[in-house]
Structure formats: C-alpha cells, structure tokens
Amino acid sequence: MFFCAISGEPPQEPVVSAKSGKVYERRLIVKYITENGTDPVTGDKLEESDLIAIKASPDTAPPRPPTHTSIPALLHSLQNEWDALVLETYTLRQQYNSTRQELSYALYAQDAANRVVARLIKERDAAREALNNIQAGTGAVTSRPEGEDVEMGDQEEESGQVLPKEAADQIDATQAQLSALRREKKSTKGGTSAAEAKTFTSKHTIPSLHSSSPAGITALALSTTQPTQFLTGGNDKVVQVYDRATDKVLASLKGHQKKITHVAFREATDSPRLVLSAGADKIAKAWAEDSASGEWAPRGTLRTHKGEITGLAVHPTRTLLALASADRTYSLHDLARLDAQALFRSAPADDAFSALAIHPDGALLGLGTPASTIHIYDIRTGAPVAALTPPDGAPFTVNSLSGLSSVAVWDLRKSKMTQNIALGDDFKVNQVVYDLGAHTGARLFAHKTWEELVRFEEGGEVSTLALAKDGKEVWGSTGREVRIWGLPG
C-alpha cells in the first residue's frame, strides 16, 4: 500500500515523482507544483509532466462529476478545503524548521560576539592597569584626546573638580548668596497663608493648546520676568510660548522629532532670554529671544546623550544647564556655548535616571531612578553625597517620592524620610513642586503640618504642574488645556 508523502494517507490517485521517487496524491502534488514549482521533499524543480501515474487496475474509470447540489459535490468541496489545509500545514512546518535554524545561527553569533566583547573589556582593563602602574612609577600624567569621555573616578583622582574653576567659583558665590537669602526669608512675612490657600479656586483656563493629534501637554514652565508668559511642550513635538494677557501664542518652536519631555526658561538680567526643551528624541534644544523684535531664533542643539532626556534644569547661576538621561548618565552644559562639548558628563550609573532637580542653593544635584533610589551629588566635583531609598521601594521623581498613592518628604541633612503623605489608592502622582507647600497632582498641602488644604479636580488628571513665583497661583495642564488656580476675585 502506498502513502502520500504530503498527507500521509493512502492516495486515491497515486503518482510518483521522477525527481524524488516519492508517491503523492495527484491533487495535492499538482497544487503544490502550481504554487511552488518544486518537489516538496527534495526542493528540486518539478513540473506536472515529471509525475508518473501509478495504475493498479487498468479497468478502473473515474466516476462522473456530481452536481453542485448533491451530497458528493459537498464532499468534494470539503475534500478540496482539506487538501488546501494539508498543503498549508506542510508549508508552515517547513518554514518553522527554517526559522529554527536561523535562530540557532543567530544565538551562536551572539554568543561569539559576547565572548569577543568580554575578551576586549578584559584586555582594556589590563591595559589601563598597566598604564596606571607606569604612571605611578614615573610620576607622569598621560593626557587624553580631546572629546574622550572621562570616568568620574578618574577626574576626581586628577583634579577633584569636574567643572572649570570659573564655573565652580560662580556656583560657590551663588550658593553663599542664596543660602543667606533663604535664611532671611524664614522670618519674612508674605506669600500665601494656609488659610488663603484653602480658598484657591479655578481662575482661568486656556484651551486648545498644541495639536489635537497626538493631543496632550507634556511639560509646563512659567516666566519669572514676564509674569503673563509661559511655556508648554506637547506630544506634537512643538514648544509653544504663550502670553496669557493677550491669549495668543507668541511662538511655536519646532525641531524635535518626538514628544517634548521638559521645558524651561533661562532668564538673566545680563543675557538674552532662552527657551530650553528636551525630548524623547534624545536631544535638548535652545532658542534665544531677540529683545527688539520679540522673535525666537534657534540657539543650539545638544546631542550629548544616547537615551531619552528624562530631566532638565537651569542652575541658579543662570549660566549652567543640567540634563539627565535614560542612558544612565547626566551632563552639565555652559549656556553661553550650547554648541560646544559638555562641561561634564558623568560615568554610567547602575540604573537609568528618571528625573533631575537642583537644590535651591545650587550646590547639590538630585537624580531619581526607576530602582527606587534618589542619588545626591556635589555638582562641582561629581562626588556622591547621599543615596535615599524609601522603605516601600516605590519609584521616584526628584523632590519627592512618586508612587501610585504617596508622597515622601526627605531631610537631606540626615538622609532621612521625615514625612510620608498617603493620597489614596486611586491617586496617581505625576509631578511634585515644593515651595511654601507641596503640590501633588491636584492637591495642595501645608508645609510641616502636611494638612491637605485644597484639591483641584476640574479637567481630570493633571499631567504637569508649576507654581507661580509669589506662591499665589498654581498652574497645571490637563490634556490640551492649561488651568490656573488661585485666590478668588
């Protein structure tokens, strides 16, 4: 008895291939030749003329074709569908075997590449150790090529300073000035009291900012020198400068290829105003304002990082820009020379950075990670100062702990969590801003007592938040709208 090489069943009309010698059901092999033109077993070129019929009984004659309304016609249709299914299953089996072989080759190649990389890293480390031994024996210092990355530990061993002396001196002077000013403000009356904050209500809504597809404001920043102006960044890859007094978009700044993640103003008395932005496209951009015409022109593009920019902050000196990235590094840039190389780029950390903030005095830099840790660095030397890890292991945004339902307040002097504010399981923290009170999403809390003063629920989830300089207004974005809350009247 014969069995078909494709279906594995006894053929009703057996034929044998002159190329492979295999027996097939004529229906199946003819369909296969029509679709592929090869022998399904050997893969050799095969035509219908190469098939030899096997005649067990010369007197056998095929039955008359049934009508389309008869039961035999239905059986014939089902047989054709079954034949097609068998052919498709056979083809898929062949493709599966071919894919397995390709995957095996890829795995072998990757393993070989990993071995080569491991060997090269070992040789590099051995060469560095030999170079250090030679330097230690001769007392010589080997210079590095310009533009080559230097690890933080190497820089500290050579100079103890990661920034130029001029920049470090400026940071020290700014820190002394701001620290003294902050101590004076402790006894200064003004701002917004807790009782006044409880009366905050929705004052103004600016709708339909940015494109409707993809919709959404992803970043917000307020001007300190032009109180009616603010910045927004959106999912539409555009940065907008808006004037609240005239309810007009002053500028739509383009250049990013993916959504905007952060925006900021750089405003200094002796320098032109800058608009700074960072995006998921791994770059940061700057635009400068022409004081005469009010037009904004591109100032520079920073391509320091190889991952999404997850943090952007202007240093209190107004001369430095700090960036954090998902590539596990952070960098410092001179705002006067944005097209030049970064003043400093850190060595890769163990985890990606998810947020960045600078201490109000300008001496410390805080970086949050998805691994539930905030790393505090001395911005002048790059040396680690503290590592803050919450007891419950929730992820961080810098200034505070951002889990799904809590906000933590830390004392940097003791590296200790002083307060954990539970917000409820249905509350998600997108951003935290700290001033005279801590504003979490759409809630306002009093400093020290941590009493919830008011919550803002208009418009739904608040994706980004900003606090007015005098503390009398809270700004937030909901979808394509910017909402302002403040004292009534």
pLDDT in tens, 55-79: 766 555 455 555 556 777 788 888 8
User: Which has the higher per-residue pLDDT, 69 or 46?
Assistant: 46
Is the model's pLDDT at 487 over the cut of 70?
yes
Is the model's pLDDT at 358 over the cut of 60?
yes
Is the model's pLDDT at 205 over the cut of 90?
no
User: Which has the higher per-residue pLDDT, 154 or 409?
Assistant: 409
* The pLDDT of residue 200: 77
CATH of the domain at 412: 2.130.10.10
For the chain, how many structural domains are there in total? 1
What the block records as the tokens of 110 is 């990757």
Residue 10 resides in a domain: no
Per-residue pLDDT, averaged over 125-141, amounts to: 72
Residue 294 resides in a domain: yes
- Confidence class for position 435, pLDDT limits 50, 70, 90: low
- Confidence class for position 151, pLDDT limits 50, 70, 90: very low
Q: In this structure, what are the phi and psi dihedrals at residue 329, rounded to the nearest 5 degrees?
A: -130, 160
Q: How far is CA 280 from the centre of its chain?
A: 6
Per-residue pLDDT, averaged over 436-459, amounts to: 60
* The pLDDT of residue 409: 78
What the block records as the tokens of 214 is 């993809």
Q: What are the pLDDT digits (tens) for 157-167?
A: 333 456 888 88
* The pLDDT of residue 146: 40
What sign for the dihedral angle of Cα 95, 97, 103, 108?
negative
User: Which has the higher per-residue pLDDT, 369 or 195?
Assistant: 369
Residue 374 resides in a domain: yes
Residue 346 resides in a domain: yes
- 298-314 burial, b if ≥16 CB within 10 A, otherwise e? ebbebebbeebbbbbbb
Residue 252 resides in a domain: yes
What the block records as the tokens of 63 is 């039955």
Per-residue pLDDT, averaged over 395-401, amounts to: 47
User: Which has the higher per-residue pLDDT, 428 or 387?
Assistant: 387
Residue 333 resides in a domain: yes
What is the layout of strands, in order, in the sheet containing 248-253?
Answer: 217-222, 229-234, 239-243, 248-253
323 and 317 in contact (C-beta within 8 Å)? no
The CA distance from 212 to 210, in Å, is: 7
- The size of the chain, in residues, is 489
Per-residue pLDDT, averaged over 224-253, amounts to: 88
User: Which has the higher per-residue pLDDT, 405 or 317?
Assistant: 317
Ranges 79-83, 129-133, 427-431: which has the least confidence: 427-431
Domain that holds residue 464: 162-486
Residue 149 resides in a domain: no
Ranges 210-214, 360-364, 429-433: which has the least confidence: 429-433
Residue 363 resides in a domain: yes
* The pLDDT of residue 51: 92
Per-residue pLDDT, averaged over 272-293, amounts to: 90
